């Protein structure tokens, strides 16, 4: 059996990309504008960074970025995440601050490889903020509060999960684990895989006490009471400092409900230098918002990003009805209809059969002439 012919290339889009049609585009722009307004009200000023960057192996998304060579032989990459680009901008444009520096951004990102975490998209939109130049509990708490407040502003009730990948690393270090064993156990703990932890502990000859501690890491999930449990596992200075920092952040965040701690999370522990956080909403198994604390070339920074495609999906039920569309037969009719809060398209011809056929296909019930609205065809 032969396969059906593929559509012409001009009718297709590359895998991992998609067209956006008018209703979704309008709602997404509303969300973008609303979030930008919230960020601005908290003091975050907007910046824009190029979609093309110099490629480099030190970039956190280097292995997954689209790369190209320009006419001068330079290897370039399409922007694959914002934090690195904003960090470059800060070092170049704000070397002396003043700090703390609050910036917001928005735009498209591209990745060469597909990922389930991004809904199998290779092109997607994000908005986000960066709080740069300070590394205090107050700064981290501000980002947690702002993240939840921004989502609430667009009608999303979310739960914020806070982790500290360095805590897991510190506990593993205190247990005397290094190299491949430490790396493998990081992954097992992050996946909450008790079976793999047991197998790895046996393979590397870990003591019963250390194995029990590693299993305990996977259970460190819940409200602020989890921090006390984590403190009991903290033996060294790094681990104790991580718990103390979270204990300082929790009351400052001012979130009476919707704040959970996952002290067994160790995703990208080599990248994040402090806490991490993700916001989830019922009905979606992927986070709407993600962020954390990292190093921007010697400058402390923290921030978060919100995925616009995923946010659009989460808020689809709240999409308001579009204003009634009318067809204006003259410019005066268009102005009058728009003044009434309607959407007005201007007739492109005097041929009534063409106008009637168009109105039928578009679902237009009324047309406007001067200051009069009448049923189509009347």
Closest by Cα among 127, 122, 102, 124 to 112: 122
Is 313 labelled a binding residue? no
Is 358 labelled a binding residue? no
Is 271 labelled a binding residue? yes
Is 54 labelled a binding residue? no
Question: Chain-centre distance of CA 128, in angstroms?
Answer: 7
Is 322 labelled a binding residue? no
Is 94 labelled a binding residue? no
Is 24 labelled a binding residue? no
Is 32 labelled a binding residue? no
What does the H/E/C string look like for the chain? CCCCCCCCHHHCCCCCCCCCCHHHHHHHHHHHHHHHHHHHHCCCEECCCCCEEECCCCCCCHHHCCEEECCCCCEEEECCCCHHHHHHHHHHHCCCCCCCEEEEEEEEEECCCCCHHHCCCCEEEEEEEEEECCCCHHHHHHHHHHHHHHHHHCCCCCEEEEECHHHHHHHHHHCCCCHHHHHHHHHHHHCCCHHHHHHHHHHCCCCHHHHHHHHHHCCCEECCHHHHHHHHHCCCHHHHHHHHHHHHHHHHHCCCCCEEEECCCCCCCCCEEEEEEEEECCCCCCCCEEEEEEECCCCEEEEEEEEHHHHHHHCHHHCCCCCCEEEECCHHHHHHHHHCCCEEEECCCCCHHHHHHHHHHHCCCEEEECCEEEECCC
Is 29 labelled a binding residue? no
Residues in the annotated binding site: 81-83, 112, 126, 130, 267, 271-272
Instruction: Could you list the residues known to form a binding site for L-histidine, using ranges.
Output: 81-83, 112, 126, 130, 267, 271-272
């Amino acid at each position: 059996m032969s396969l059906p012919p593929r559509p012409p290339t001009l009718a297709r889009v590359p895998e991992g990309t998609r067209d956006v049609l008018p209703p979704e585009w309008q709602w997404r722009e509303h969300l973008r504008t609303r979030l930008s307004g919230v960020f601005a009200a908290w003091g975050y000023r907007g910046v824009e960074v190029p979609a093309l960057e110099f490629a480099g192996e030190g970039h956190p998304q280097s292995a997954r970025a689209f790369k190209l060579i320009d006419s001068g032989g330079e290897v370039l990459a399409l922007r694959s995440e914002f934090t690195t680009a904003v960090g470059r901008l800060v070092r170049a444009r704000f070397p002396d601050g003043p700090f703390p520096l609050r910036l917001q951004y928005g735009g498209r990102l591209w990745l060469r490889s597909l990922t389930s975490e991004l809904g199998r998209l290779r092109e997607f939109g994000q908005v986000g903020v960066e709080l740069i130049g300070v590394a205090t509990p107050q700064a981290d708490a501000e980002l947690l509060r702002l993240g939840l407040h921004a989502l609430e502003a667009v009608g999303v009730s979310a739960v914020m999960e806070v982790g500290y990948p360095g805590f897991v690393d510190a506990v593993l270090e205190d247990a005397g684990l290094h190299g491949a064993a430490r790396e493998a156990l990081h992954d097992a703990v992050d996946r909450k895989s008790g079976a793999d932890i047991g197998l790895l502990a046996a393979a590397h000859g870990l003591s019963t006490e250390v194995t029990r501690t590693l299993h305990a890491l996977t259970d460190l999930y819940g409200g602020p009471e989890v921090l006390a449990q984590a403190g009991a596992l903290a033996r060294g200075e790094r681990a104790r400092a991580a718990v103390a920092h979270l204990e300082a952040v929790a009351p400052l965040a001012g979130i009476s409900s919707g704040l959970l701690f996952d002290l067994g999370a160790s995703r990208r522990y080599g990248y994040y230098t402090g806490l991490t956080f993700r916001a989830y909403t019922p009905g979606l198994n992927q986070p709407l918002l993600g962020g954390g604390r990292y190093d921007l070339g010697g400058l402390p920074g923290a921030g978060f990003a919100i995925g616009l495609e995923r946010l659009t999906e989460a808020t689809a039920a709240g999409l308001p009805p579009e204003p009634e569309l009318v067809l204006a037969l003259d410019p005066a009719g268009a102005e009058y209809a728009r003044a009434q809060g309607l959407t007005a398209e201007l007739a492109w011809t005097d041929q009534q059969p063409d106008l009637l056929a168009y109105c039928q296909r578009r679902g237009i019930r009324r047309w406007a002439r001067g200051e009069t609205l009448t049923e189509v065809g009347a």
